[in-house]
């Protein structure tokens, strides 16, 4: 069925990506189509794609161990007069195996000269058909909340909105606040209390709404590590510190700080019991800034846009909203 679709569409320019031939052109297309929203990480990825495109026949081999290359290679392009003018990338999502296979749909782009001719829709339809045939359980994507064209396209193809998330960042040179005099105390979370923390997260980050964030399904792996996994993570330069706030002996708030050598920033996660919303956010954020000030790394937070109390607290502490992304999902 897919082969037949591709044969008929080949005449009009739709085909699978050929990494050796297309990688540099896909980098150019992504840069052009996403210039208004591309951050430093995106620019670094585009430059990496250009460098890799010079690897010649080795590329195919490298794609076996590199998720970015693998994803681009599994995608589709639209070619017009020998030029790559449209693209969809299909990455394997980094989710626990028992939840998968899940595919990330990314780099959906059509050259501005060819937009509104049905190319984006055809690229997406063919990609989804290929995913369905490959046994993928579901496809996920994120789209800027104000990108109405792309959002409507995905909705018409069957994607459902999960949740909208703000991405926040606070630079390391901003001032460090003093501790609030009456603030509740944070303590390190004992490893054996992860199930209570998980139960709390189920209430505020339900899996039906996408869990803890982008490619972070609500799953025990986010809460607990076997000693072996902890060693592996440590060797890879990743550390996760976890603190909680107790009301008598009940966990009512949690703060995680994940740092990795390669990320160049510390990722914070804030979890506040619904009964304590509006009362704990300042405490958690204040603690995170003071506790991590000596690291001199930017702090990053991905948090639901519907949580007004957290939004206001992050703004109060000088976090800047960088993007607002809607997460969408299509189950096959
Ligand atoms: C989103 C994008 C890939 C769509 O590609 P495209 O080839 O123009 O899309 P199509 O021509 O197949 O149109 C798809 C639908 O969107 C509608 N549409 C496309 N451009 C539109 C516009 N500027 N205004 C209103 N509707 C528009 C079409 O009418 C069509 O509707 P239909 O499905 O009811 O027929 C393209 O606009 C793009 O590359 N944008 C910049 C990058 C981007 O934002 N990518 C999405 C990231 S998540």
Decide: 149 in ligand 1 pocket, CB within 6 A: yes
Q: Is 155 in the pocket of ligand 1 (CB under 6 A)?
A: no
CB distance 200 to ligand 1 below 6 Å: no
- Ligand 1 site, residue 46, Cβ cutoff 6 A: no
Ligand 1: centre distance to CA 120 (Å): 6
Tens of pLDDT, residue by residue, the chain (332 residues): 555 555 444 446 999 999 999 999 999 999 999 998 888 888 999 999 999 999 887 888 888 888 889 999 999 999 999 999 999 999 999 998 898 899 999 999 999 999 999 999 999 999 999 999 999 999 999 999 999 999 999 999 999 999 999 999 999 999 999 987 777 899 999 999 999 999 999 999 999 999 999 999 999 999 998 888 888 887 878 889 999 999 999 999 999 999 987 778 999 999 999 999 999 999 999 999 999 999 889 999 999 999 999 999 999 999 999 999 999 999 99
Q: Is 153 in the pocket of ligand 1 (CB under 6 A)?
A: yes
* 125 CA from centroid of ligand 1 (Å): 13
Domains and CATH numbers, the chain: 2-136 (3.40.630.30), 167-324 (3.40.630.30)
Q: Is residue 88 lining ligand 1, measured as CB closer than 6 Å?
A: no
| 252 alpha-carbon distance from chain centroid | 26
Query: Sheet holding 138-144: strands in order across?
Result: 14-16, 76-80, 83-92, 102-110, 138-144, 320-331, 160-170, 299-304, 266-272, 250-259, 239-247, 186-188
Q: How far is the CA of 149 from the centre of ligand 1 (A)?
A: 5
Q: What is the DSSP string of 61-85?
A: HHHTT-HHHHHHHTSEEEEETTEEE
Phi, psi of 73 (to 5 degrees): -65, -25
Q: Which atom of ligand 1 is nearest to the CA of 124?
A: 12
């Amino acid at each position: 069925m897919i082969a037949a679709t591709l044969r008929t569409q080949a005449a009009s320019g739709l085909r699978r990506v050929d990494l050796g031939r297309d990688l540099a052109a896909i980098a150019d297309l992504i840069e052009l189509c996403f210039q208004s929203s591309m951050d430093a990480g995106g620019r670094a990825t585009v430059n990496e794609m250009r460098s890799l495109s010079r690897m010649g026949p080795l590329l195919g081999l490298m794609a076996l161990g590199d998720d970015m290359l693998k994803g681009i290679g599994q995608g589709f392009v639209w070619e017009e007069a020998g030029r790559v003018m449209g693209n969809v990338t299909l990455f394997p999502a980094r989710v626990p195996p028992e939840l998968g296979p899940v595919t990330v749909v990314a780099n959906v782009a059509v050259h501005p000269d060819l937009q509104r001719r049905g190319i984006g829709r055809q690229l997406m339809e063919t990609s989804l058909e290929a995913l369905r045939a490959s046994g993928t359980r579901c496809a996920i994507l994120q789209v800027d909340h104000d990108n109405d064209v792309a959002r409507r396209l995905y909705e018409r193809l069957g994607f459902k909105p999960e949740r909208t998330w703000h991405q926040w960042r606070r630079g390391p040179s901003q001032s460090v606040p003093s501790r609030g005099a009456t603030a509740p105390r944070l303590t390190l979370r004992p490893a054996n209390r992860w199930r209570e923390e998980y139960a709390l997260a189920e209430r505020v980050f339900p899996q039906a709404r996408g869990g803890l964030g982008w490619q972070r399904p609500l799953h025990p792996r986010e809460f607990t590590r076997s000693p072996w996994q902890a060693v592996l993570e440590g060797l890879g330069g990743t550390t996760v510190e976890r603190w909680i706030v107790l009301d008598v002996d009940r966990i009512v708030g949690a703060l995680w700080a994940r740092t990795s050598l390669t990320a160049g920033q510390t990722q914070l996660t804030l979890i506040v019991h619904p009964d304590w919303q509006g009362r704990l956010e300042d405490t958690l954020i204040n603690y995170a800034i003071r506790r991590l000030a000596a690291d001199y790394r930017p702090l990053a937070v991905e948090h639901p846009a519907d949580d007004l109390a957290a939004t206001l607290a992050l703004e109060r502490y000088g976090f800047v909203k960088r993007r607002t992304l809607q997460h969408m999902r299509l189950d096959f």
